[in-house]
Structure 1
Amino acid sequence: MAKPTDPRTLAVTILAKVAAQGSYANLTLDATLRQHDLSPRDTALVTNLVYGVIQHALTLDYYLKPFVKDRKLDPWVHALLQTAVYQMVYLDKIPLHAIFYESTAIAKRMGNVGIGKFVTAVLRNLQRSQRPDLTKLQPAAYRMSIMYSIPEWLVAKMIEQVGATKAEAIFATVDRPAAASLRVNTTKITPDQLLAELKQTLPDVAVSALTPVGLVAPGGHLAGLLAFAAGEFTIQDESSMLVAPSLEVQPGDQVLDACAAPGGKTTHIAQYLDAAEGGQVTALDLHPHKVQLITANAKRLGLADRVTAMAMDAREAADTFAPGSFDKVLVDAPCSGLGLIRRKPEIRYDKDPESIAKLPEIQFEILDAVASLVKPNGRLTYSTCTMVEEENQAVVARFLSAHPEFSAVAVPTLTPVKAHGAPALQLFPDDYGTDGFFIASLVRN
């Protein structure tokens, strides 16, 4: 059996589990790292291998295909070959002899001598062959699919909706590591104060181009900092920080966050409220254990006095709350999450056209259910972390057709933002290097 602290074996084990059981890569990786006392260098290698292989899986399989042919591979053997090719293609500081030796040794330990010989033969043949030029592949959708490791159906959809040039810019951005970003808790500290504090350990931290309450850094374990434990900031993508300002929350407002967990936008809304003036955000989520996350986040940030979290299906909210109960309502709807594929690379493989086709109905049902809860002249924000029109513009158009008492207006932002789809705001990953995100502001006439 392999050494439990061998980083390559751990990476193969994690990848095989993710592939075979449909586990979330980040959760499986975190759980594995907690169980093993790895050096910082080995921890970084495991993390790099796991996310790198997932991010480039279709590309790696394309390189492997001529040598594996139609042989059916156990998940761990497939993962082992992928990790080896990933190191050969993307990690130029690891010598080839080390990749071959370690991969063969793992194959023998986890399997047998025969599998070891098979892995060695595949890697040797790959090394001797000229690597194919991916830029020459045709048609364009297939080329982008292999180059950027995006399922071909999704490439075709994005080309249809935004054009080939924009689609390729999006996929090229998704192919690069995401920056770490945080939202300043302005009830405890100013952005300038937190920036100065964090620069002592993160010298490259800078103010976000999208929002004055956001800070970004090339990397770093932000949730491990003392300032996080003290509630001075929370982890949130820059594009997501545009949602709360779109509601134009006033200190005494009653706000409904209809799909709230884990509470990032809930606590951002709460920063604008004043409990002494009666300001309160009611945060709903379908799952009780996720409601606990909302409560815990609010408590850590010192905002618990203005947050009420409840387990409830947002589609049933009108059975509990009276018409016109809220000045502002946020529907950050359940969605495909396709805007997050840079941070959560496995999302691209988990989705298919059929699963996405079911989501707009749920999204419309939630909007339809909360519409009556918005006061006259009140504001309703609809947001998603996806990039496809079916879940965004089409849902808003259907809602406005069914509810002529609402009008779409320009999305308010704290900083001028160049985006797509006015009066709604559609951000793609290549626009500002953020997650893909959609926000629509609707006012009840």
Structure 2
Amino acid sequence: MAKSNPRALAVTILEKVARQGSYSNLTLDATLRKADLSVRDAHLLTTIVYGVIQRRLTLDYDLAPFVGKRQLDPWVRILLQTAVYQMVYLDKVPTRAIFYETTEIAKQKGHAGIAKFVTAILRQIQRVGLPSVETLADPLERLSIASSTPVWLVEKLVTQLGEAKAASILAVINQPASASLRVNTTKITAAALLTQLQAQFAEMTPSAIAADGLVAPGGHLAGTAQFAAGLYTLQDESSMLVAPSMELTPEMQVLDACAAPGGKTTHIAQMLDPQVGGKVTALDLHPHKVKLIAENAARLDLADRVDAYAMDARDAADQFAPQSFDRVLVDAPCSGLGLMRRKPEIKYEKQPADLTNLPQIQLAILNSVAGLVKINGRLTYSTCTIVREENQAVIDAFLAAHPEFIQIKTPTAQPLAKAHGELALQLYPDDYGTDGFFIAALQRRA
């Protein structure tokens, strides 16, 4: 049962994520590689794992009247969460199958007494129905439970963006994320690759916002011959806007100060020409991640344009000559709150203190690399988060300390009607169905 039952495997994965702080995507991928599952069961497993993490606060609210003050073993609570998730959100799964499988898992992981308890809870839910969030008087708590997002974060988004925009963002973060890829334009055009891949991914279309992007509702995009041949790499659409915003020319020297795993590095490299001296220098703090950058560059046949080093970006000023780069990118370490749909555990892991601590690191990196930018060169700052503290507030603090820089309008290859920000480019997950992302362009003056 352990290797072939998607519901039992889901409980095991969710236990690991809860107990060990494992990343859900990595644990799920490792399980799928080892498990003996049909395509249908692999899809069910994936749906349950991500769905339960996405809806955790909602599911606990649903279970509260039935569980009461009983102290449940973590795996029993997770098992009940998986059952309620299937009952509420998966229309095509028969209730009898949910009851039977849940009871069998309870027997095998526990004993007959636990199985009886679990069955009784499920039957009571079936009989009485689940509580409605509409009974919650506090609008922030209501939005928190409905979207399964901690109250502090709901309050933050409402304060900064208004209730309507916050509710719109929180309504989409629990929907499945699309799969997206970036075409390696040194090898093939987007149109030609789309023609090749539509045989496997019939619903694949060009990205609405990124010229080099193709998007599909789902699918294992890293499992194709074209991926192995380096015709494309995996990257979110909003992230694909960074390299074009830098307005690169083939001969430029570029520093990517926080580069792993190398998506933006290799996108930059596509726009450079080593024959005329174009090069991107990629830094990351961790040697194993630097190896990943090099491997990605090699697979895409871009290794001659990329030099990767293990280095703390805050030490970059000590390692490179002043004014040695035409362009510098700081894709800063951040809270990742723009990735809540793709990595749902982020919204539970992050705390208000992160929005105080991270900007200090972000600003320190910007301060370190500022002197490396040539006169009339450009410093680009990007994050995959959606809160002001890590975005425009960091830029404002940097500009206050560096009058030699001015913020300019972030360029885009095409107009984006739903973009936010006066000079910076801010995208939210509900704008185009992408990750939330922020890009600011800073020019160095004489």
TM-score of the superposition, structure 1-length normalised?
Answer: 0.98
Superposed, 1:2-401 pairs within 5 Å as 2-401=1-400
- 2:435 aligned residue: 435
Question: What SS class does the counterpart of residue 156 from structure 1 fall into?
Answer: helix
In structure 2, list runs of 5 or more residues that go unmatched. none
Look up the equivalent residue of 1:184 and give its one-letter code. V
Give 3-state SS (helix, strand or coil) of 1:231's partner: coil
Q: How many pairs align?
A: 444
Displacement of 1:135 in angstroms is 3.6
Comparing 131-140 with 383-392, which one deviates more in the overlay? 131-140
1:13-44 Cα deviation digits (max 9, x unpaired) = 11111111111111111111222221112111
Segment drifting more, 157-166 vs 188-197: 188-197
Q: Give the letter aligned to residue 203 of structure 1.
A: A
Partner deviation per Cα, 1:143-179 (whole Å, 9 max, x = no partner):
1111111111100000000000000000111121111
Given that 1:84 and 1:103 are in contact with CA atoms closer than 8 Å, whether structure 2 keeps it comes out as: yes
Cα deviation code 1:195-219 (max 9, x no counterpart): 1111222121111111211111111
Give me the identity figure in percent: 66
Task: Answer yes or no: is the 8 Å Cα contact 1:426–1:437 preserved in 2.
Answer: yes
* Paired letter, 1:147: A
Task: Give the SS at the match of 1:381.
Answer: strand
Cα deviation 1:275-316 (Å, max 9, x = unaligned): 010000000000000000100000011100000000000000
Q: Distance in 2 between matches of 1:256 and 1:232?
A: 24
Q: In the alignment, what sits opposite 1:413?
A: 412
Structure 2 CA distance for aligned equivalents of residues 439 and 135 of structure 1: 37
Q: Does the CA-based 8 Å contact 1:428-1:437 persist in structure 2?
A: yes
Conservation of the 8 A alpha-carbon contact between 1:135 and 1:147: no
Once residues 132 and 394 of structure 1 are traced to their aligned partners in structure 2, the CA distance between those partners, rounded to angstroms, is 40
The worse-fitting range, judged by mean Cα deviation, of 321-330 and 110-119 is 110-119
Kindly indicate whether the alpha-carbon contact (under 8 Å) linking 2:13 and 2:24 is maintained by their aligned counterparts in 1.
yes
Cα contact 1:270–1:281 (8 A) shared by 2: yes
Letter in 2 for 1:174: I
Shift of 1:136: 4.4
CA contact (8 A) 1:232 1:301 kept: yes
C-alpha contact 2:51 2:85 (8 A) present in aligned 1 = yes
Distance 1:422 1:19 in 2: 40
On the 8 A contact 2:58/2:147 being kept in 1, the answer is: yes
Deviates more, 1:131-140 or 1:205-214: 131-140
Instruction: Out of 329-338 and 415-424, give the one that drifted further.
Output: 415-424
Using the TM superposition, name which of 252-261 and 108-117 deviates more: 108-117
State the alpha-carbon separation in 1 of the partners of residues 198 and 3 from structure 2.
36
CA contact (8 A) 2:282 2:307 kept: yes
Which residue type is aligned with residue 313 of structure 2? A
Instruction: Kindly provide the CA deviation profile for residues 42-70 of structure 1, in whole angstroms up to 9, marking residues without a partner as x.
Output: 11111111111111111111100011112
Which residue identity does 1:169 align to in structure 2?
S
> Secondary structure of the residue that 1:353 maps to in structure 2?
coil
Deviations 1:222-260 (A, max 9, x none): 111111111111111110001001111110100000000
Rounded to whole Å, the distance in 2 between the matches of 1:92 and 1:245 is 42
User: Distance in 2 between the 1:109 and 1:200 partners?
Assistant: 42
Partners of 1:380 and 1:442 within 8 A in 2: yes
Q: Secondary structure at the match of 2:353?
A: helix
Structure 1's unaligned 5+ residue stretches are: none
SS in 2 for 1:327: strand
**Conserved in 1, the CA contact under 8 Å of 2:2 and 2:9?**
no
Question: Partners of 1:372 and 1:317 in 2: how far apart?
Answer: 10
- Write the letter of the residue equivalent to 1:29: L
Give the whole-Å Cα distance in 2 for the aligned partners of 1:47 and 1:288.
31
**Offset of residue 417 of structure 1:** 1.4
Letter of the 1:364 partner, please give it.
L
Deviation of residue 4 (structure 1)? 2.9
Question: For the residues of structure 1 that align with 2:135 and 2:67, how far apart are their CA atoms?
Answer: 22
Distance (Å, rounded) in 2 between the aligned partners of 1:415 and 1:70: 56
Q: Secondary structure at the match of 2:374?
A: strand
Shifted more, 318-327 versus 346-355: the winner is: 346-355
Residue 363 of structure 1 deviates from its aligned partner by: 0.2
Amino acid at match of 1:248: E
Tell me the CA shift for residue 192 of structure 1.
1.1
CA contact (8 A) 2:317 2:368 kept: yes
Tell whether the 8 Å contact from 2:57 to 2:148 is kept in structure 1 after alignment: yes
* Aligned: 1:426 with 2:429: no
Query: TM-score, normalising length from structure 2?
Result: 0.98
1:383-406 Cα deviation digits (max 9, x unpaired): 000000000010000000000000
Secondary structure, counterpart of 2:176 in structure 1: coil
- Give the deviation of 1:133 after TM superposition: 2.6
C-alpha deviations, 1:311-369, integer Å up to 9, x for none? 00000001110100100000000000000010111111111111232100000000000
SS of match in other structure, 1:200: coil
CA shift, 1:122, in A, is: 1.1
Instruction: Name segments (4+ residues, structure 1) moved above 2 Å.
Output: 130-138
- AA in 2 matched with 1:430: D
- Structure 1 range deviating more: 295-304 or 133-142: 133-142
